[in-house]
A and B are shown apart, each in its own frame.
Chain A
Amino acid sequence: MDPALFRSSLSVWPSFLLVSAPVLFDYASQRVPRCSHSPWIASQENTMKDTDIKRLLYTHLLCIFSIILSIFIPSFFLENFSILETHLTWLCICSVFVTAVNLLLYLVVKPNASSKRSSLSYKVTRFLKCCIYFLMSCFFFHVIFVLYGAPLIELVLETFLFAVILSTFTTVPCLCLLGPNIKAWLRVFSRNGVTSIWENSLQITTISSFIGTWLGAFPIPLDWERPWQVWPISCTLGATFGYVAGLVISPLWIYWNRKQLTYKNH
């Protein structure tokens, strides 16, 4: 690893701590109740919404940092690590990082903790179910990529890891927030189906990851002969950029539209 990169990655650390400290403090100090509020107490609602939006922003910044770290940290431990050349390694690491951060945030923030107390066995089955759902979504995405024209026999590992990273960006947050509940997923991803800021941001990040992936396929037929035009690099990069863009846009968008947003409680 060259020294310039090392220095720049060092300079990332303090800023990361700077950002993460208030977040953790925030979570530890105020356990804000879940967002079921009566619509007529406007002022209280607004403050609640503002704190929610702030928390949303911090969590999203953490997710973005986890992606940035997945680019820089492996180069300390691995020789010749670069996103384009050892793309598959990066895919695995990025996927692990993002999943870990999502799980951590879910455990700390608990955006919609279920009111009823549940037993350990229930939690375990729920976790196993989530794992199965994740695997299923990986296979599902793999099938869709093949239907879109990815080679069936060659490059299977590449295609599958691409499916994994896309599942990480889309399915993992869904599983964290909504649990293994397909009906709730369908509700969130249809028009007027969201019931909270968290679901709204989930909708935006997921859809922007998909759009990023979709747009990422466009450079493949161009004859520029660049290393990143190789399948599936442009698509994974597109997915990552889409995810990051969704993470940035969703708090801002919700903030700008906070006056118009009213959520129906289910």
Chain B
Amino acid sequence: MRLGSGTFAACCVVIEVLGVALFLRGFFPTPVRSSARTEHQAEPPAPEPSAGASSNWTKLPPPLFRKVVIMLIDGLRDDFVFGSKGVKFMPYTTYLVEKGASHSFVAEAKLPTVTMPRIKALMTGSLPGFIDVVRNLNSPALLEDNVITQAKAAGKRIIFYGDETWVKLFPRHFVEYDGTTSFFVSDYTEVDDNVTRHLDKVLKRGDWDVLILHYLGLDHIGHVSGPSSPLIGHKLREMDSILMKIHTSLLSEERETLVPNLLVLCGDHGMSETGGHGASSVEELNTALILISSAFERKPGDIRRPKHVQQTDLAATLAIGLGLPIPGNSVGSLLFPTVEGRPVREQLRFLHLNAVQLSKLLQENVPSYTKEPGFEQFKMSERLHGNWIRLYLEENNSEVLFNLGAKVRRQYLDALRTLSLSLSRQVAQYDIYSMLVGTVMVLEVLALLLLSIPQALSSEAELEVPLWSPVFSLLFYLMFLVLSALHVIVCTSTESSCYFCGLSWLTAGGVMALISALLCAVGSALAKMFADGKFLSKNPAHPKARWSELDVLILLGTTGHVLSLGASSFIEEEHQTWYFLINTLCLALCHEIYRNCFLRDDCEPQQCSHVEEGFVSPAPALQDRSIRCNMLEPHRVSKGPTSLDTLRGYEKWMVLASPWVILTCCRLLRSLNQTGVQWAHRPDLGHWLTSSDHKAELSVLAALSLILIFALVQRRCSLTSKVAMALGLLGVYCYRAAIGNVLFPWQRDSKDISKGVIEARFVHVFVLGILFTGTKDLLKSQVIAADFTIKTVGLWEIYSGLVLLAALLFRPHNLPVLVFSLFIQTIMTKFIWKPLRHDAAEITIMHYWFGQAFFYFQGNSNSIATVDVSAGFVGLDTYMEVPAMFLTAFATFAGPVLWASHLVSFLSSETSRTRTNILQICIGPRRPQIAKAILRKNKAGGITIPDFQIYYGAIIKEYGTGTEIDI
């Protein structure tokens, strides 16, 4: 089957995406789930175990607390309360922790440390999967068994104020609520005032049982200015006073009713040293958890240190405290100190309930649960518990009873810990079979792609995909049968659930057929390549083209980067790899330029000497002649002297200086944003600029950057888009001034900070306008084939539209990244790629490298915490999923996207330039040899697009002079 290169590549990409999706589905573990229905209350609670004697206590124990207030502070790291900051800024809380009637814990959150999965974990006690991160922005209602649903079913009245996520997770659960959106990260006072303003009213009223407050301000401060900002102290002091207010109000109420209330102060996740969250550093995982109640009264001198517990333990504790059944999917164990003050019988009853729930979850998720140590421990403690009950009912000697009780309690606690641990471990199990199928698919496509590179990149841009002949071969059918049999065997024998087995038989069969067809195709391509290789090696006419140092570097760098991803540190610090590579690339370019400039005379090809250079020697694999690829073979010999000689004095100096200019730019950008893990806390220019003391500097920088962006982009635009661009960039500055990031020179104090919706929409209009003009030009060029320049202009306009959008979405301190990106692109185009005549493959890979580096220059990293979510809400009043997702994705990947679109525009402009040259020469009175030479060069450049209209003239002339032609 003959395919164009583009079609072939597109097919390969589609299959790869399918394979990767299948792999990911297997890689991300499905969370531990109880199959029990959500109507949990239908099930009777487990009765007290009793050996022989019949117990009369089968109902759920009564609630321990009358009212529960949950005060959730987003991003409350443990050291904000227990560390030096807590002592300084939260005096009341510190007093409660050290001397008051409270139990304090350091609760460890599980990954991902993002708000919504953490709320789910707190309320259900289960471990949400990684997939929940994606749903963080738009959370659907929580259907799992959880404390809130149970409380509502038990007739408790719940009031909620705070993050809107709760309202979406628990619709119709709250008798009264006021949600605040968390999307405007730069606001950290209003979000909290919105919660606090209801407090006085609610605390006076007594008509509620559970009050939930979710404060977002602390997390917002972290996102904007980091955990060491002075704003954190103010916020903590504010939170402390709120806690004091709630506590005194609860205490005064208790004096009347004499039943204890519970106040829970907790964080959902921590905060990294840069202020973000989402990853797995200790600062992000450890949160503060304090339970305050008069029931926890302690004797003087009783020092309670904050113990390390799991965040999931809170759900079980809350359920017990409110007298509710424990949520079915909870993997947490009861925080025992909370029930320590109760009689022994009640303590054991609570522990038993929790253990029964955990063992039930274990039975449903682990086929061989009877062999689990936790389950055995549970059975043993249940037996002992029964004995204890019998003794208790017989009213035995209190000494014996006490000792046995202590023993049972210890047994239960051990059992709970083991059960909880083995359930948490369940989450980390992979679906190996789906992963394997996905991997095989990806690898086969990769092999096919690699094998067909030489053909696909040759001048015809077409290739023969050996797909039809093997489909009718015996091998294919054998393969298909074997794979299907394997599928049946695997799917019928595994105990755990498997996604790929869950698919319909037809789909699975299709995938199997695809895998075997691909295998056959790879096999026949290999065979063909070997046959060709033999033929070629017999044919000495082929000149042995050699790799230039640049080609070796590009290939080694790309493969080296792929290999480096095997080490987790290199993934965390991937930006270092890219910075290192582009620096080396610049130095290699510098070497090439200088050699071309100074050694023009000495550089003639010398036939006699075959001295291999040290550069080539470390890469013996590269000399494998079987990978014969037209694109990557340098055609420098046929190129003749590069056009460096023809440059005038000024330009020559620019060419010589350009690598150093680029290196300097990269170094400046590098110190703009520190990313990664190890050195992320180092001071950088970005933090200096964003601090409120340097607003004037930031304003000047932003204005300068916008002017430079205009200067760099406008040179190849049409007049309309030039005007649109200028107005759009002006709009960008107005938008940043409106939301309070930068200042207008005439407006020293900006009091009214709006969301800047109008300004942002104004820019959006211009972006769409420029993109529309560009698309129109592109379409026109498709219709009118003769005009090549229109296509180039159209592509450039699309590119400039994207630049404008990026300028709008980037934070103001990141605007220099955009400027330098444009600047480097201009310099590379003008002084490196054009004079040195790199071929398309080299230019493509260089664009890829720079695009990756600019991704990190923006301050991104491989951690999800560095994604700037606020970019998704530029110009939007309310949260809209599709545009917000698109804007966030574009702002994050702006670097690679801009470089890719520059690549397209650059290649198209080069093609049109050479074509115009050919036309002129063919029409003019020159000798046809020149035309032929240019045609050949064009081929060598790899940018050939067969266009017979253009070649026509040349061919006619060739025949006219009687020379042979070999196009």
List residues of A whose CB falls within 8 A of some B CB: 144, 146-149, 152, 183, 186-187, 189-194, 200, 203-204, 207-208, 211, 214, 217, 220-223, 246, 260-264
> Which residues of the partner chain A approach B678 to less than 8 Å between Cβ atoms?
221, 223
Selected from A148, A183, A264, the residue in CB contact (under 8 A) with B609 is A264
Residue of A nearest to B608 (CB): A262
> Which residues of the partner chain B approach A221 to less than 8 Å between Cβ atoms?
569-570, 572-573, 576-577, 676, 678
Cβ-closest 7 pairs across A and B: A207-B614, A221-B573, A222-B569, A147-B663, A192-B606, A223-B569, A190-B595
Asked whether B472 is an interface residue with its Cβ less than 8 Å from the other chain, the reply is no
Residue of B nearest to A191 (CB): B613
Q: List 16 A-B contacts (CB under 8 A).
A: A147-B583, A149-B580, A187-B599, A187-B602, A191-B611, A192-B611, A193-B599, A194-B611, A207-B614, A207-B615, A214-B584, A217-B580, A221-B570, A221-B676, A221-B678, A262-B609
List 11 extra interface pairs beyond A221-B573, A223-B678, CB under 8 A.
A146-B667, A147-B663, A147-B667, A148-B579, A149-B579, A187-B599, A187-B602, A194-B611, A203-B613, A204-B614, A221-B676
Q: How far is the CB of B509 from chain A (nearest CB, A)?
A: 46
> Which residues of the partner chain A approach B605 to less than 8 Å between Cβ atoms?
192
> Which residues of the partner chain B approach A191 to less than 8 Å between Cβ atoms?
611, 613
Q: How far is the CB of A185 from chain B (nearest CB, A)?
A: 10
- Complexed CA–CA distance, A248 and B595 (Å): 28
Selected from B570, B603, B664, the residue in CB contact (under 8 A) with A147 is B664
Taking a contact as CB atoms under 8 Å apart, the answer to whether A183 and B580 are in contact is: no
Q: How far is the CB of A137 from chain B (nearest CB, A)?
A: 15
Taking a contact as CB atoms under 8 Å apart, the answer to whether A203 and B614 are in contact is: yes
- Complexed CA–CA distance, A147 and B587 (Å): 11
Asked whether B746 is an interface residue with its Cβ less than 8 Å from the other chain, the reply is no
Taking a contact as CB atoms under 8 Å apart, the answer to whether A263 and B609 are in contact is: yes
Selected from B570, B599, B611, B614, the residue in CB contact (under 8 A) with A208 is B614
Asked whether B771 is an interface residue with its Cβ less than 8 Å from the other chain, the reply is no
Bitwise, B576-600 to A at CB < 8 A (1) or not (0) is: 1101100110010001001100110
- Complexed CA–CA distance, A168 and B730 (Å): 54
Q: How far is the CB of A116 from chain B (nearest CB, A)?
A: 23
Taking A221-B570, A221-B573 as contacts, is the C-beta distance between A261 and B579 under 8 angstroms? no
Residue of B nearest to A224 (CB): B569
> Which residues of the partner chain B approach A214 to less than 8 Å between Cβ atoms?
584
What is the interface residue range for chain B against chain A? 35 or more
Residue of A nearest to B587 (CB): A144
Q: How far is the CB of B91 from chain A (nearest CB, A)?
A: 38
Taking a contact as CB atoms under 8 Å apart, the answer to whether A186 and B567 are in contact is: no
Q: How far is the CB of B412 from chain A (nearest CB, A)?
A: 40
- Complexed CA–CA distance, A262 and B607 (Å): 11
- Complexed CA–CA distance, A246 and B598 (Å): 27
Asked whether B618 is an interface residue with its Cβ less than 8 Å from the other chain, the reply is yes
- Complexed CA–CA distance, A192 and B584 (Å): 22
Q: How far is the CB of B491 from chain A (nearest CB, A)?
A: 41
Asked whether B670 is an interface residue with its Cβ less than 8 Å from the other chain, the reply is yes
- CB within 8 Å of A: which B423-451 residues: none
Taking a contact as CB atoms under 8 Å apart, the answer to whether A186 and B599 are in contact is: yes
> Which residues of the partner chain A approach B610 to less than 8 Å between Cβ atoms?
260
Asked whether B73 is an interface residue with its Cβ less than 8 Å from the other chain, the reply is no
Residue of A nearest to B567 (CB): A222
Asked whether B334 is an interface residue with its Cβ less than 8 Å from the other chain, the reply is no
Which of B570, B594, B602, B611 counts the most A-chain CB atoms under 10 A from its CB? Answer: B611
Q: How far is the CB of B524 from chain A (nearest CB, A)?
A: 39
- Complexed CA–CA distance, A188 and B611 (Å): 11
Selected from B567, B599, B611, the residue in CB contact (under 8 A) with A200 is B611
Taking a contact as CB atoms under 8 Å apart, the answer to whether B569 and A186 are in contact is: no
Taking A192-B606, A192-B609, A223-B569 as contacts, is the C-beta distance between A186 and B580 under 8 angstroms? no
Taking a contact as CB atoms under 8 Å apart, the answer to whether A264 and B618 are in contact is: no
Identify whether the interface residues of A are mostly helix, strand, loop, or mixed: loop
Taking a contact as CB atoms under 8 Å apart, the answer to whether B611 and A261 are in contact is: yes
Taking a contact as CB atoms under 8 Å apart, the answer to whether B611 and A183 are in contact is: no
Asked whether B666 is an interface residue with its Cβ less than 8 Å from the other chain, the reply is yes
> Which residues of the partner chain A approach B603 to less than 8 Å between Cβ atoms?
190
Residue of A nearest to B586 (CB): A147
> Which residues of the partner chain B approach A263 to less than 8 Å between Cβ atoms?
609
- CB within 8 Å of A: which B606-629 residues: 606, 608-611, 613-615, 618
Residue of A nearest to B560 (CB): A218
Taking a contact as CB atoms under 8 Å apart, the answer to whether B613 and A207 are in contact is: yes
Taking A222-B569, A222-B570, A223-B569 as contacts, is the C-beta distance between A149 and B602 under 8 angstroms? no
- Complexed CA–CA distance, A261 and B608 (Å): 9
> Which residues of the partner chain A approach B618 to less than 8 Å between Cβ atoms?
211
Bitwise, B665-677 to A at CB < 8 A (1) or not (0) is: 0110011000010
Which of A183, A191, A264 counts the most B-chain CB atoms under 10 A from its CB? Answer: A191
> Which residues of the partner chain B approach A260 to less than 8 Å between Cβ atoms?
610
Q: How far is the CB of A203 from chain B (nearest CB, A)?
A: 6
- Complexed CA–CA distance, A263 and B609 (Å): 7
Q: How far is the CB of A196 from chain B (nearest CB, A)?
A: 11
Residue of A nearest to B576 (CB): A221
Residue of B nearest to A187 (CB): B602
Taking A186-B594, A222-B567, A262-B608 as contacts, is the C-beta distance between A193 and B602 under 8 angstroms? yes
Which of B591, B613, B618 counts the most A-chain CB atoms under 10 A from its CB? Answer: B613
Taking a contact as CB atoms under 8 Å apart, the answer to whether A183 and B667 are in contact is: no
> Which residues of the partner chain A approach B606 to less than 8 Å between Cβ atoms?
192, 264
Residue of B nearest to A205 (CB): B614
> Which residues of the partner chain B approach A246 to less than 8 Å between Cβ atoms?
614
Taking a contact as CB atoms under 8 Å apart, the answer to whether A211 and B595 are in contact is: no
Residue of B nearest to A207 (CB): B614
Q: How far is the CB of A58 from chain B (nearest CB, A)?
A: 22
- Complexed CA–CA distance, A185 and B573 (Å): 36
Which of A217, A222, A262 counts the most B-chain CB atoms under 10 A from its CB? Answer: A222
Residue of B nearest to A150 (CB): B667
Bitwise, B21-56 to A at CB < 8 A (1) or not (0) is: 000000000000000000000000000000000000
Residue of A nearest to B682 (CB): A151
- Complexed CA–CA distance, A190 and B567 (Å): 35
> Which residues of the partner chain A approach B591 to less than 8 Å between Cβ atoms?
189
Selected from B595, B599, B670, the residue in CB contact (under 8 A) with A149 is B670
> Which residues of the partner chain A approach B579 to less than 8 Å between Cβ atoms?
148-149
Q: How far is the CB of B558 from chain A (nearest CB, A)?
A: 16
- Complexed CA–CA distance, A186 and B579 (Å): 26
Which of A189, A214, A221, A246 counts the most B-chain CB atoms under 10 A from its CB? Answer: A221
Q: How far is the CB of A151 from chain B (nearest CB, A)?
A: 9
- Complexed CA–CA distance, A200 and B613 (Å): 9
- Complexed CA–CA distance, A147 and B580 (Å): 10
Residue of A nearest to B612 (CB): A257
Q: How far is the CB of B674 from chain A (nearest CB, A)?
A: 11
- CB within 8 Å of A: which B650-664 residues: 663-664
> Which residues of the partner chain A approach B615 to less than 8 Å between Cβ atoms?
207
Residue of A nearest to B610 (CB): A260
Bitwise, B50-86 to A at CB < 8 A (1) or not (0) is: 0000000000000000000000000000000000000
Taking a contact as CB atoms under 8 Å apart, the answer to whether B595 and A186 are in contact is: yes
> Which residues of the partner chain A approach B567 to less than 8 Å between Cβ atoms?
222
- Complexed CA–CA distance, A146 and B670 (Å): 11
> Which residues of the partner chain B approach A204 to less than 8 Å between Cβ atoms?
614
Selected from B572, B580, B598, B676, the residue in CB contact (under 8 A) with A148 is B580
- Complexed CA–CA distance, A208 and B618 (Å): 10
- Complexed CA–CA distance, A147 and B577 (Å): 14
> Which residues of the partner chain A approach B663 to less than 8 Å between Cβ atoms?
147
Residue of B nearest to A146 (CB): B667
- Complexed CA–CA distance, A2 and B176 (Å): 78
Q: How far is the CB of B953 from chain A (nearest CB, A)?
A: 38
Which of B579, B580, B664, B676 counts the most A-chain CB atoms under 10 A from its CB? Answer: B580
Selected from B576, B580, B614, B670, the residue in CB contact (under 8 A) with A211 is B614
- Complexed CA–CA distance, A220 and B614 (Å): 25
- Complexed CA–CA distance, A18 and B613 (Å): 33
- Complexed CA–CA distance, A33 and B520 (Å): 65
Selected from A149, A186, A203, the residue in CB contact (under 8 A) with B598 is A186
Selected from B584, B594, B608, the residue in CB contact (under 8 A) with A264 is B608
- Complexed CA–CA distance, A72 and B666 (Å): 41
